[in-house]
Structure 1
């Protein structure tokens, strides 16, 4: 039997599967965008009856997560959720003790099929609308666990009371599989995964982090709030934490290590490979609010005899951050920071206008001022505003390139500390204005 993955309009039926709702756009009655679905909230019941579906966790463009009651939902289509008229409460969503997040907590729970005592994994939940227009989780889709490597068991769609264990999986502390949740995360940007992890209970967040590979975990951790970063580092085994730090951008790894206790920081640096820890150690020598503390030690560097074609090939690297790809720095050997003598930079727009066989030395911008490592946050901000840059060179006293500051690193330090937690805009009225909905009728 195929997995229940199709969405059906509420107007035609009263059932829709929760896993396919992740990421759906949410629109008001006039077609205005409210945000995207990030989870489904259900209320736990003490009488073992199917949980009542309370509403949707919706993420707005400002990254603020709000609660939309299910009674406001008039239709669920293949690519959108439609709301009825009424007000949209812009307050930040906070999970209550008697609530469960269907995607974040219920899916992937290890369960048992009641009739046969067959072990299974819960892979989806059907939301059903009753005659009173209330919603509940009426059926559960489970996949039997065969115990054979590479073999996937059959899928069954069962009534709520035909499955044992899913509602208490999080409350009892039993471990949960994360395959279904990882499938949802696989199509999301790292920043959106980080936002979703932030909303999960601590135990569930740890389970997901343990299941992610080092590269993906590093990308996600870079986008997490500081407290969540520290919590995950403290939870992971030291060897795994060191592997994750190696996969992170050196400047992000340095920022994270700087927040840890001195002993923990030193142990993790020792566990990292020397070539990975060396640039991080250099960054830790600078204050976090200076150009040296803001910079990345891995800009695009070429020698004066490199061709335009070679430089363009380097900036085409899909893993290179956009800010770093905007500028190529030309230095005498060595080309690793700290480099030889800094000669100048070439903007990517200039590279695109030059013949591929031309030497980059012939297209140098030697007039652009550089930043000293001691430049303050205010000085760096003025520098970027004055020259309209997204990337700028940082030099030491001997005119060696030691790194580059990008505008995204600058913004991370200019924005309020809680901006990753939905702290921007810093008032509900500002958030409403940014969305164009506010507390007005949607």
Structure 2
């Protein structure tokens, strides 16, 4: 193999933008597809297989996520260049949804974090990265080297063992089924992803790998990701966590999302998890579960920004500046008499973020209340809630009970979640007309 042939480590390809020849971005790299070519094996004194006697694995192509969030297969024969943090293609794409075949391996999803052995010493090492190299004078690519670390690696921190790069033929064990595979290196390649995008990564992993990655995420990150996953994936992941950790993750979720998820579990499992949650968090979730799902009460979150009448604009801006608030929750504050946690004392009204920006910091929020804006009752059905948002161009709306207490707020994302088809997270909502589709088998293979 020519020394000058391009070599790329796969961790550098994760999330890389994919462009057509005109410079238009068509998607991002989410994984690489390889085929292990195991034609025979050398064995050690104990009879265990040491290394593949075949050539290094062939890199078949890339899994590319389009703007529609659909994942397609891009053959390496249609990749004209990988340079400067970008992938250039011939511009011809097959937009059929990618489906992994039994003989294929996902390099990021399945090969990183594997425990393999050095052929020479039999020592166990963990795969941190893998490099691929283009064959001379062709568009074919192969996996050629493996970056590994000696010693054990923990779930949340790496060991301090020696790291080294070895030829593919110097390690063995990639074809063996592994239980308890870690996820550190995989997560490192996707650490900058938004929760919705990381959820899409998890959705396309195998159930085994999905559980391993979920186990490696911290509670807050896993909670954010769970909120973006389809219902079946949520239930599957929660069911594979230890009950104490499952309760911790539920506490970290938005109460309305936690209530929706718990509502899909058997009664016995639901009550057991609620009992393990902190009493205050469990009380919020139980309160939400008391409402019909497709009503304002069932849609609302119980954690809006609530201020007392004597709070100032400066106080309000400090609260909405919290980076943990979603844009919809930060769009307005709710002025109520004490207590200032839901359910509150008397609800006085709403102050929009734009109004806060127009008035001096010392102004009392009680003097800025939008008195014309109506509120929703917890029994308001979903179609009426959607109509309210459309009529008043709102991104969030207060939910108030008969006594005049603020119970929570409904945000536009929760409304859309319940108006869209149940499988919307797996559907494509952007036209695919700009992409030319090949005839025949997937990806031209």
Write the distance in 2 (CA, Å) between the matches of 1:259 and 1:43. Answer: 39
Q: Could you give the per-residue CA deviations for residues 95-134 of structure 1, whole angstroms, max 9, x where no partner exists?
A: 1111110001001101111111222111111212224432
Question: Between Structure 1 and Structure 2, how many residues are aligned?
Answer: 422
Change (3 A) 1:218 1:145: same
Deviating above 3 A after TM superposition, structure 1's stretches of 4 or more consecutive aligned residues are 146-151
Match of 2:81 among 69, 75, 86: 75
**Alpha-carbon displacement from aligned partner over 1:206-237 (angstroms, at most 9, x marks no partner):** 11111111111111111111110000111111
Partner of 1:89: 94
Report the TM-score when normalising by structure 2. 0.91
Whether 1:411 aligns to 2:419 is no
Contact 1:122 1:166 in 2 (8 A): no
Aligned partner of 1:381 among 386, 389, 400 = 386
1:187 to 182, 187, 192: 192
Compute the displacement of 1:365 (Å). Answer: 0.7
Residue 428 of structure 2 corresponds to residue 424 of structure 1: yes
Whether the aligned pair in 2 keeps the contact of 1:108 and 1:176 (CA below 8 Å) is yes
**Alignment partner, residue 390 of structure 1:** 395
Q: Distance in 1 between matches of 2:6 and 2:128?
A: 20
Q: Which of 136, 160, 164 is equivalent to 1:152? A: 160
Mapped contact 2:12–2:85 kept (Cα < 8 A): no
Q: What is the 5 A alignment of 1:26-425?
A: 26-47=18-39, 48=52, 49=54, 50-85=56-91, 87-131=92-136, 132-145=138-151, 152-168=160-176, 172-421=177-426, 423-425=427-429
Structure 1 residues 21-68: Cα deviation after superposition (integer angstroms, max 9, x where no partner)? 001000011111110000001123331332211110111111111111
Unmatched runs of 5 consecutive residues or more in structure 1: 1-9
CA apart distance, 1:185: 2.4
CA distance in 1, matches of 2:192, 2:437: 31
TM-score normalized by structure 1? 0.91
Shift in Å, 1:154: 2.6
Partner of 1:439: 437
Counterpart Cα distance in 1 of 2:29 and 2:219: 27
* Greater percentage in helix: 1
SS at match of 1:166: coil
Kindly indicate whether the alpha-carbon contact (under 8 Å) linking 2:94 and 2:438 is maintained by their aligned counterparts in 1: no
Gaps of 5+ in 2: 40-51, 440-445
Tell me if structure 2 keeps the 8 A contact 1:11–1:75.
no
Q: Is the 8 A contact 1:284 1:293 kept in 2?
A: yes
SS of structure 1 residue aligned to 2:142: strand
Structure 1 window deviating more from structure 2 (159-168 vs 257-266): it is 159-168
Aligned-pair distance for 1:78? Answer: 2.5
Q: Report how far residue 440 of structure 1 moved.
A: 8.1
Query: How many Å apart are 1:12 and its aligned residue?
Result: 6.0
Report the Cα offset of residue 151 of structure 1.
5.3
Cα distance 1:407–1:11, how it changes in 2: closer, same or farther (>3 A)? farther
Deviation at 1:371, TM superposition (A): 0.8
Counterpart position of 1:21: 13
Structure 1 residues 116-157: Cα deviation after superposition (integer angstroms, max 9, x where no partner): 122211111121222443222122121212789975223322
Q: Distance in 2 between matches of 1:15 and 1:359?
A: 62
Identify which range, 119-128 or 271-280, moves more after superposition: 119-128
